[in-house]
Amino acid sequence: MAQSSLLPGKMNSIKLVDTLAEFFGAEEVKVTLLSVKHITNRRLTSSIASNRQYMIQQWREPDPVGFSAMANLILWPQKMAWIAGHMPVIFLKTDEQVALHFRSLPDSVAADLSHTLSQLNPQDRWITQFCTDWEDVLHAMHDTKLLPILPCEQTISIPHLFDPQLHYNLLSKRCLALSGLPTPRAHTIDFAPPGDGWNDLSLIQAIDECIHSIHIRKVPFVVKSNFTMGSDGVYIVKSLEEQAAVELSVKQHLQCDLPHLQPKNASLRPLSILLTDYFEGDTLCVNFFVERSGQARFSSCVQQISTVDNNWCGSRIDYCRQDEHALTFNDTLSLTAKYLHKQGYFGPAGIDVMVNQAGTQVVVDLNVRPTGSFMLGCLRSHLYGLLELKVAEILPIIRIPGTRATFEASFHEDLKNGRLIIIAWYSDTQNECSYVHFVAAGKDCVILDNLISKLKM
C-alpha cells in the first residue's frame, strides 16, 4: 500500500473531550468498546453468524458485493472509536471470504487504522484489540465489562456492562412510544409467530393486516421500523403516492424478515411497525451522558441532514450555539435521563428532538448508545477551542479515487490546518480507490460548504 504523505508530527495532535474513557473513569467502571455494526440481514464474515436474537435490520437497497461488510466491519468501528478515548476497542478481523469481497488484504486494513489513530493525542488514543471470533473477544476482556454499540446474541456469555436484553429493549422505537416521554402519538403494529410456525398463508395474513393499517391511515404520517439505524426504515408519508410506495416497500421487507420471527425472539418485538404523527421542522440530535446518579450531562447538539428520501447524509454542529442548546433542551434531557436511570442504564445516549407548532419539544427518536454524531462533541476543544473553527460536519462514506497518499497531497493544507479530519479509511487497492469518513470544519458555513463540495467532486 502507498505510504501516506503526511506524518503525525506535521499535523495538529487532536485532543478529545467528553470521551467514554473520561465518563466511565469518573464512574470508576472499566469497559471495553465493541463498535461493530452487527446488522441481522448483512453477513459480516464467514466465522461470525448473523445476529438473529437481537435483530437490527437494514432496509435500504442491497449494497454492492462486500460493501456492507466493509462499512459495518471496518469503517463504522473506526468512526465510532473516536468517542472512546484511552480505553480498549475491539475490532473484528476480516477473514479470507471477506477479504475477497473487499479486494484487499487484512494487513492493509490494519495500516489504515493505525494511520487514522496516529492523528490523536497519545493520551486519547484507543487501545486496538483485533479479534477473529467471539472467543477471542472474551479473552480480550480481562477485567473489563463489554460495552457494545448494539447488543448481539453471540456475546451473551461475555460479561456486559448492561444486560443485552435490557439494552435491546431500550433501543426500540416501540419502547420509546411507551416511555411516557413527550413523543408523537403512535399506533403500534406487532407480530407474533403462529404456534405451528410460519407458512405462506400465515405470512400473507400478517403482512396484509399491517399493510391495511398503513393504507387507511390519513396522511401525513410517519412509518417506522422498530429496529433500524440512521433514519433507515423511517418513511415520511405526505401524499397518497408516497403512501402506496411505502406499502409496497414495507410488504417486501416483511416478506424477507417475518420468517425470522421465532418464539425465542418474539417477546422482544423486533419487527414491530409504528405509525406516528408527523411534524414539520428540522430535527436536532442532542448527545448526552446519563450519569449513574440519573443526572444528564450535555455533550453536544447537532443538526441532522437528510436526503429527499429521508436517508441520513451528515450531521452539522455550530460550536457557538452549544451553551444555548444545552439550556434549551435541559428539561427534556433531564426527563430522558431520569427515564433511562429508572430502567437501570447509565452511559452515552442521544435524542432526536423536534419542536411542534405549540413550541413543545417532542422526542422523535431515542438512541441508547453513542450516536454517529457523538464525536463532534468530543472534537469541540480541538476544532473550536484550539483552531477557532465554528462549524463542523461529519459526512457519510465517500468514495475517493486514487490512494491515500494522492488524496493527502491534494488536500494537504486542509489536513494540516485541521479543517479536514480523516476519521475512517478503507483502501481498495485493486480498484485504486478508497472509502472514507471525514469530519470537515470551517470558520463559517460558506467555507465549510465549499470544502465539502471539493470532497464530493
Q: What is the pLDDT of residues 94-132, one digit of tens each?
A: 554 444 444 444 567 778 888 889 999 999 999 998 887
Q: Residue range 54-73: average pLDDT?
A: 65
At a CB cut-off of 8 Å and minimum separation 6, what does 25 contact? Answer: none
303-331, pLDDT tens digit by residue? 988 877 777 788 999 999 999 999 999 99
241-261, pLDDT tens digit by residue? 999 999 999 999 999 889 989
Q: Residue range 47-71: average pLDDT?
A: 65
Give the residue carrying C-alpha cell 480541538. Answer: 382
180-222, pLDDT tens digit by residue? 999 999 999 999 999 899 999 999 999 999 999 999 999 999 9
Rounded Cα–Cα distance for residues 328 and 322 (Å): 10
What spatial distance separates the first Cα and last Cα of the chain, rounded to whole Å? 24
**Nearest residue to 150 (alpha-carbon basis) of 30, 34, 31:** 34
pTM score, two decimals? 0.91
For the record, the C-alpha cell of 393 comes out as 460536519
16-27, pLDDT tens digit by residue? 999 999 999 999
Rounded Cα–Cα distance for residues 33 and 80 (Å): 9
